[in-house]
Amino acid sequence: MKLRLFTTHHRILGILYLLLSLATVAIGTLLSLLMRIHRVWPDTPLPIIGLLKPEDYLALVTMHGTLMIFFVLTIAPQVGFASLVLPEQIGARNMAFPRLNAASFWIALAALLVLLAAFFVPKGAPISGWTSYPPLSAIPAAGPGEGAGMDLWLASIGLFCLSSWLAAVNILATILGERRAGMTWTRLPMTVWAWLITSILTLLVFAVLLAAIVLLFSDRHLGSSFFVPAGDLINGTIVGRGDGSPLLWLHLFWFFGHPEVYIAVLPGMGLATSLFANFARRDVPGYRIMATMLVAIGLLGLVVWGHHMFVSGMNPYAGTAFALTTMAIAVPSTVEVLGWLSMLTLPTPGGLWSSGPRFPTPMLFALGFLSFFVAGGLTGPILAQPALDSYLHNTFFVVAHFHMVMAMAGTFSIFAGIYYWFPLMTGRLMNETLGKLHFWLSIIGAWGTFFPMHLSGLAGEPRHYERLTGPATSFSGIVANERGITSAALFLAAAQLIFLWNVFWSARRGRPAQPNPWQATTLEWAPVAAFGRIDRGPYEYEIALNEMIFHPQWESASKQE
Amino acid sequence: MPATFTRHPVEIERKDTGIGGKPPLDRRPTGGGGGDDNWDNRPSGRRGPRELLTRYRLGVLFALAGDLMFFVALVSAFFVRQSAGHFDARENYVSDWHALAVPPVLWINTAILILSSLTMEIARRQLFREIDVMDEWLGLGRPAVKRAAPWMVATFVLGSLFLAGQWIAWEQLVQQGFYFNSPDPSSHFFYLITGVHGVHLLLGIAALAGALAGMFILRRIELRQIAVDCTAWYWHTMGIFWIFLFALLAFFQ
């Protein structure tokens, strides 16, 4: 397939979205390595950059978070994969609005370039974190990078909101309006359910983020005081103009920020369900329940944002309410996990299975996703307790939690999707040996990087300190642990070079893929686009006479019987 | 074939269309299973009279749902900021919120905007009158365009009048000493909410101009219908948003 600019073909746009995320993840990873190296050798000058100042460290934190969350974990699983396969999975030819899809890609690219430009303006990138809490973010004089850098951050995220908004409109219109005849709600692949829910979340929450950005911009440049508190003192000058409330920003931001986590991880959950069914050669037990639980996670995800704010001065009674909703979200998540485990370990109701699941690279990465989703998920209810959170909130425990459950689970599901759908992008399979090597090195590196962070966090290591030992603070006891984390992070990043090599090598020289190389049942693998009414479910596998039979959705049920 | 609103009484009253015969009274849908009846086999976008229209309406609906959340966020910020304050040295709770009396010209603007929604709706309905649509579809002139265009021009004028009225309201506030950056949070919200809504309406006017041009440029009648229909729904939504925002600014200070 020829890669052409300004195309409106959904699959090429999907590839472009994924390339955008790939470029971003490379930059974001480099930034995180700089941070890791700085944490263990804070006084060693780095090549090219020289000695990192404390504010540079904060700028790295901000840009790493913003790049990864918006341009990798939001784009790749949702609009990237949806552009790639959503139309085919529901039996359509293209997205509902192909040109809108292209527009939203180019706006996302513009947003990325504007964000990266923040590195090159005077005083550099913003330092207020990906959450941009005021008053730090509201007053240009509050710190280096909070002037032009912060303005570029705001412009970039504003553009990104617009791009996601358009993409979500497109995905929703596609799912609701473009399904082929017979593609009923219970015949949708689980990925489509996930995209449906994440798109609804995107519509609801990115608009709120945009409103918050407009208010913050107005505070910075138009002299208002929505977020700047009275008597706010910066460098000996009172800059507070009225009774603005930083807490208002936190509410608006986390009303976006928490569902954002589900936007990043729900497509991975849908994909994992599909992959487990595909490679365990079985149906999805309780399909309706699994789909309903995805919806429940999405809906509950809209009412838990306050658990990010237990230590922000929010009313403690509100904290109790948010603790309850947050713990409630563990219920549908657990149902999903139990559903996956039963798919992997129990035989199908009707029969025995002969050989157990197969484990090609996409399946391995889906299992890796599961391991991080469970391990990161288990610390969720711990952090949902306001009492525990008040100790843990500003420590590395939280960093460990969200890197496990969102960053690593999200990344592993993206890898699973790329290995799985690579034949659709290039007509070739990715190299299986390199893929497995990549998986095992990555999972060792990822666990080695993020699991020990829990221990550092429990020992009290603060999240935003640029160095562990110094005149004011001393965490010399955990420096050894930190060295281990840094080595594991370098190891993890190095393992990704195998992936990069594999992608670019396999795209040109990989083994040509058969039609439907994974023997899947969902429609994106249909060898011919012309087929009639859908009358099969998404995951119809069975065993008869020790032989594996599967019924793709593009085959008619009536024709065979 | 494009979508129409079927109105039998009108159809019956118009005995003579002037093109040689009256339209048939009983509608004969094709069917029977033969020929090219299965719309599913046709290329996307040509499967039945309402396929494209429904698609675009869905898109506009979802985009406006997101837009609603944008305004909901602003309105909730309004209420939060209104109740914000601090304790002074004597432990008194003081708030810097002073209610703003909205300029009375806003009432006239609101009436103009409601009127513009009416004209827009009349224009939209012209595009779906069965007889006119059939005429256009058969290539017998553009009666629907001719009927709708004046109403769209009227909407354009009324919309511009509304924006001019908002500008006058700002001028009046400035004369009273309320600027965007005056210390009152209520005046920030007034300027911000009217400004953001004004930008939305400006986009609506641009869409209206585009639809007006599209009526003469677009060759497929379905696309002409879509251009006017989607603009109209956007316009109505902005009208409804404004009524709520105006009520907020006028009565909930």
Percentage of chain A lying above the pLDDT 90 cut: 70
The angle subtended at Cα A78 by Cα A72 and Cα A83, nearest 5°, is 110
Contacts of A231 in chain B (CB under 8 A): 86
Chain A interface includes B6 (CB < 8 A): no
Residues ≥6 apart with Cβ < 8 Å to A153:
A62, A66, A115, A118, A125, A126, A132
- Are B85 and A241 in contact (CB < 8 Å)? no
- Are A96 and B69 in contact (CB < 8 Å)? no
Model pLDDT for residues B167-210, shown as the tens digit of each residue: 999 999 999 888 887 778 888 899 999 999 999 999 999 999 99
pLDDT, mean of residues A391-398: 94
Banded pLDDT at A176 (limits 50, 70, 90)? very high
Q: How far apart are CA B63 and CA A168, in angstroms?
A: 9
DSSP class of A474? B
The two three-digit tokens of residue A392, written as one number: 């843990």
Backbone angles phi, psi at B50, to 5 degrees: -110, 5
Banded pLDDT at A347 (limits 50, 70, 90)? confident
Number of continuous H segments (helices) and E segments (strands) in chain B: 7, 2
- 3-class DSSP state of A436: helix
For the cut 90, the answer to whether the pLDDT of residue A512 exceeds it is yes
Distance from CA of B204 to the nearest CA of A (A): 17
3-state secondary structure B146-175: HHHHHHHHHHHHHHHHHHHHHHHHHHHHHH
- Are B58 and A172 in contact (CB < 8 Å)? yes
pLDDT at B12: 47
Model pLDDT for residues A439-469, shown as the tens digit of each residue: 999 999 999 999 999 999 999 888 888 888 7
Highest mean pLDDT among A181-190, B7-16, B95-104, B133-142: A181-190
For the cut 90, the answer to whether the pLDDT of residue A328 exceeds it is yes
- Are A168 and B59 in contact (CB < 8 Å)? no
Any idea which of A41-45, A100-104, A317-321 has the lowest mean pLDDT?
A41-45
Interface residue of B69, B78, B179 to substitute, partner A, most A CBs within 10 Å: B69
Q: Provide the CB-side half-sphere exposure for A203 (13 A, CA).
A: 23
pLDDT at A303: 94
pLDDT at A350: 57
- Token pair 């640029």 is at which residue? A466
Residue type present at position A22:
L
Distance from CA of A531 to the nearest CA of B (A): 9
- Token pair 């979205």 is at which residue? A17
Banded pLDDT at A102 (limits 50, 70, 90)? very high
pLDDT at A358: 85
For the cut 60, the answer to whether the pLDDT of residue A290 exceeds it is yes
Q: How far apart are CA A253 and CA A247, in angstroms?
A: 10
For the cut 90, the answer to whether the pLDDT of residue B34 exceeds it is no
Q: How far apart are CA B100 and CA A220, in angstroms?
A: 23
Burial A485-518, CB ≥16 within 10 A → b, else e: bbebbebbbebbebbeebbeebeeebeebeebbb
Task: Indicate the burial class of A152 (C-beta count within 10 angstroms; 0-12, 13-18, 19 or more).
Answer: buried
Distance from CA of A113 to the nearest CA of B (A): 25
End-to-end CA distance of chain B: 52
Q: Which of B63, B185, B196 sits opposite A169 (nearest CB)?
A: B63
For the cut 60, the answer to whether the pLDDT of residue A96 exceeds it is yes
Chain A interface includes B88 (CB < 8 A): no
Contacts of B66 in chain A (CB under 8 A): 165, 168-169, 203-204, 206-207
Shortest CA distance from A253: residue in chain B = B73
Among A519, A494, A522, which residue's Cα sits nearest to residue A192?
A522
Largest CA distance in chain B: 89
- 3-class DSSP state of A550: strand
Banded pLDDT at A349 (limits 50, 70, 90)? low
Q: How far apart are CA A396 and CA A407, in angstroms?
A: 15
Backbone angles phi, psi at A485, to 5 degrees: -60, -45
Q: How far apart are CA A41 and CA A50, in angstroms?
A: 13
Q: How far apart are CA A442 and CA A486, in angstroms?
A: 14
Query: Torsion-angle region of residue A173: left (phi > 0), alpha (psi -120 to 50) or beta?
Result: alpha
- Are A243 and B73 in contact (CB < 8 Å)? no
Task: Indicate the burial class of A545 (C-beta count within 10 angstroms; 0-12, 13-18, 19 or more).
Answer: exposed
Task: Indicate the burial class of B228 (C-beta count within 10 angstroms; 0-12, 13-18, 19 or more).
Answer: buried
Distance from CA of B13 to the nearest CA of A (A): 37
- Are B40 and A180 in contact (CB < 8 Å)? yes
The two three-digit tokens of residue B113, written as one number: 């905007």
Model pLDDT for residues B62-119, shown as the tens digit of each residue: 999 999 999 999 999 999 888 887 788 888 888 888 888 889 999 999 999 999 999 9
Banded pLDDT at A561 (limits 50, 70, 90)? very low
Contact A204, A302 (CB under 8 A): yes
- Are A242 and B180 in contact (CB < 8 Å)? no
Interface residue of B39, B72, B78, B81 to substitute, partner A, most A CBs within 10 Å: B81
Any idea which of A10-19, A78-87, A350-359 has the lowest mean pLDDT?
A350-359
- Are A172 and B62 in contact (CB < 8 Å)? yes
Contacts of B44 in chain A (CB under 8 A): 92-94, 178
Contacts of A226 in chain B (CB under 8 A): 77, 81, 185, 188
DSSP class of B143? H
- Which ipTM did the prediction report? 0.91
DSSP class of A228? P
Distance from CA of B181 to the nearest CA of A (A): 5
- Token pair 């251009």 is at which residue? B227
Any idea which of A174-178, A465-469, B151-155 has the lowest mean pLDDT?
A465-469
Q: How big is the A-B interface in CB pairs under 8 Å?
A: 118
pLDDT, mean of residues A52-81: 95
Banded pLDDT at B10 (limits 50, 70, 90)? very low
Chain A interface includes B59 (CB < 8 A): yes
Cis ω on the peptide bond leading into residue A267 (within 30° of 0)? no
pLDDT at A371: 96
Q: How far apart are CA B237 and CA A183, in angstroms?
A: 32
Strand pairing report for B86-87 and B93-94: antiparallel
For the cut 50, the answer to whether the pLDDT of residue A299 exceeds it is yes
Distance from CA of B112 to the nearest CA of A (A): 27
Highest mean pLDDT among A40-49, A50-59, A112-121: A112-121
